[in-house]
């Protein structure tokens, strides 16, 4: 298999950054002396299988830390044209706007949005209960908003419709039409984690697609418009994180020595030819 090379540079503690993958830093619960480290990772082009909720054997957890990072797309902003240009849709509502192509969203300074970072295996610790507040995914402007979401096992997922036209929400768990301006919509509570974010589509408007990452622990994040993410309260010790993008080219495991009451920042650069 042809190897793929990524460059990671971060401020890591004495434990350092180990093994392969794509992952990132987080925010600190405390302080600590950190030293700069540069690591080049050589990864197989084959995707590594990762379950968003595997559990490790019993171990002693000495505390909790934070990881914080940023994922940068190399090669500039691809400036993708609209999926549906204004005035071209046969739908009277959808034709009123440009429907953007959010397959690859890159900020002005190169930050890569809509990347999911999650802990691959949760250690044997007490895991906080999922929030009772639902994760809301809207259909607004004939697209799913947000494009990529996070939802805990046991947390309600609400799919609503702010558009003045009907939409159909379809996944491996549900398939339901949501009427125009229906702000109640569909509510689904996942019972099991998914190995990769769950695709959600609309059968009425074939271009519409979004993703919901379903995990059974709180140690996950989606990168923002500037490519940054933060995961707090991560059990200290050597942890493996997975990074996912809908193109599937950066789904890998990254081992990070999470220090208690400290921040582990990592910057990840992704070559443009890996998101084709």
Sorted by sequence, the CB contacts under 8 Å of residue 79 that are 6+ apart come out as none
Rounded-to-integer distance, Cα 55 and Cα 149, Å: 22
Q: Does domain 128-216 have CATH number 3.40.1360.10?
A: no
CB 235 within 8 A of CB 2: no
Rg value, the chain, Cα: 19
Query: Which whole-number Å values give the CA distances from 103 to 85, 89, 274, in the listed order?
Result: 16, 19, 13
pTM comes to 0.79
Under the banding of pLDDT at 50, 70 and 90, the label for residue 54 is low
Average pLDDT over residues 73-97: 94
Q: Tens digit of pLDDT for each residue in 161-220?
A: 999 999 999 999 999 999 999 999 999 999 999 989 999 999 999 999 999 999 999 999
Q: What is the DSSP string of 137-161?
A: EEE-SSSEESSEEEEETTS-EEEEE
Phi, psi of 43 (to 5 degrees): -115, 150
Q: Are strands 209-215 and 148-152 parallel, antiparallel or unpaired?
A: parallel
pLDDT for 58 equals 57
Examine the pLDDT at 96 and tell me if it is beyond 50.
Answer: yes
Query: Which whole-number Å values give the CA distances from 245 to 26, 46, 71, 118, in the listed order?
Result: 19, 14, 11, 12
Rounded-to-integer distance, Cα 244 and Cα 164, Å: 33
CB 215 within 8 A of CB 53: yes
**Alpha-carbon dihedral angle through residues 55, 56, 61, 65, given to the nearest 10 degrees:** -60
Under the banding of pLDDT at 50, 70 and 90, the label for residue 6 is very low
Question: Which sequence spans correspond to the domains of the chain?
Answer: 1-90+99-125+221-276, 128-216
Phi, psi of 211 (to 5 degrees): -140, 145
Average pLDDT over residues 234-238: 92
Q: Tens digit of pLDDT for each residue in 97-133?
A: 999 999 999 998 999 999 999 999 888 888 999 999 9
Examine the pLDDT at 22 and tell me if it is beyond 90.
Answer: no
DSSP 8-state symbol, 95 = G
pLDDT for 48 equals 36
Residue 162 CB coordination number (10 Å) = 15
């Amino acid at each position: 298999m042809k190897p793929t090379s990524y460059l990671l540079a971060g401020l890591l503690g004495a434990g350092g950054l180990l093994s392969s993958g794509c992952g990132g830093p987080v925010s600190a619960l405390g302080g600590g002396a950190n030293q700069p480290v540069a690591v080049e990772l050589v990864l197989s082009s084959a995707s590594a299988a990762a379950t968003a909720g595997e559990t490790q054997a019993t171990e002693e957890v000495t505390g909790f830390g934070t990881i914080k990072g940023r994922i940068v797309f190399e090669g500039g902003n691809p400036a993708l044209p609209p999926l549906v240009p204004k005035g071209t849709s046969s739908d009277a509502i959808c034709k009123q706007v440009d429907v953007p192509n959010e397959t690859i969203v890159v900020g002005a300074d190169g930050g890569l949005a809509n990347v999911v970072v999650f802990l691959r295996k949760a250690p044997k610790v007490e895991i906080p209960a999922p929030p009772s507040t639902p994760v809301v995914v809207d259909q607004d402007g004939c697209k799913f908003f947000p494009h990529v979401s996070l939802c805990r096992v046991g947390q309600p997922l609400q799919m609503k419709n702010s558009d003045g036209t009907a939409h159909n929400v379809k996944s491996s768990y549900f398939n339901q039409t949501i009427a125009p301006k229906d702000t109640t919509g569909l509510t689904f509570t996942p019972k099991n984690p998914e190995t990769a974010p769950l695709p959600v589509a609309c059968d009425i408007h074939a271009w519409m697609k979004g993703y919901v990452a379903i995990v059974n622990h709180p140690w996950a994040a989606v990168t923002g418009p500037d490519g940054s993410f933060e995961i707090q309260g991560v059990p200290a010790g050597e942890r493996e994180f997975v990074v996912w993008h809908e193109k599937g080219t950066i789904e890998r495991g990254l081992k990070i020595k999470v220090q208690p009451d400290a921040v582990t920042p990592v910057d990840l650069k992704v070559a443009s030819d890996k998101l084709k």
